[in-house]
Amino acid sequence: MDIRQLLDDDSAVSPVIGVILMVAITVILAAVIATFVLGLGDSVSNTAPQASFGANYDSDDNQLDLTHNGGDTIEAQLLSVSSDEAFQDPDSTSVSSATSASWNEFNKFSEGSQIAAGNTLTIEEDGGEFDDATVRVTFQSEQGDTSATLAEWTGPDA
User: Is the overall model pTM greater than 0.85, yes or no?
Assistant: no
Report d(CA 57, CA 42) in Å as an integer. 39
Please report, for residues 15, 61, 135, 155, the alpha-carbon distance to residue 158 in angstroms, rounded to integers and kept in the order given: 71, 19, 11, 5
> Cα 80–149–95 angle (5° rounding)?
15
Residue 82 has pLDDT above 90, yes or no: yes
104 near 110, Cβ under 8 Å?
yes
Supply the range of the domain harboring residue 39: 3-45
pLDDT tier at 97 (50, 70, 90 boundaries)? confident
Shared domain for 21 and 62, answered yes or no, is no
User: What CATH number corresponds to the domain at position 135?
Assistant: 2.60.40
Shared domain for 111 and 127, answered yes or no, is yes
Shared domain for 41 and 56, answered yes or no, is no
Shared domain for 35 and 62, answered yes or no, is no
Phi, psi values for residue 99, rounded to 5°: -110, -5
Shared domain for 122 and 86, answered yes or no, is yes
Q: What is the pLDDT of residue 69?
A: 94
Q: Which of 153, 13, 6, 9 is nearest to 85 (CA)?
A: 153
Shared domain for 130 and 63, answered yes or no, is yes
Shared domain for 63 and 102, answered yes or no, is yes
Shared domain for 77 and 135, answered yes or no, is yes
Shared domain for 111 and 132, answered yes or no, is yes
Total number of domains in the chain? 2
Q: Which of 11, 28, 45 is the last residue of a domain?
A: 45
Residue 34 has pLDDT above 60, yes or no: yes
Shared domain for 85 and 133, answered yes or no, is yes
pLDDT tier at 61 (50, 70, 90 boundaries)? confident
Shared domain for 36 and 14, answered yes or no, is yes
- pLDDT tens figures, 99-147: 899 998 988 887 788 999 999 999 988 877 788 889 999 999 888 778 8
Residue 12 has pLDDT above 70, yes or no: no
Shared domain for 103 and 145, answered yes or no, is yes
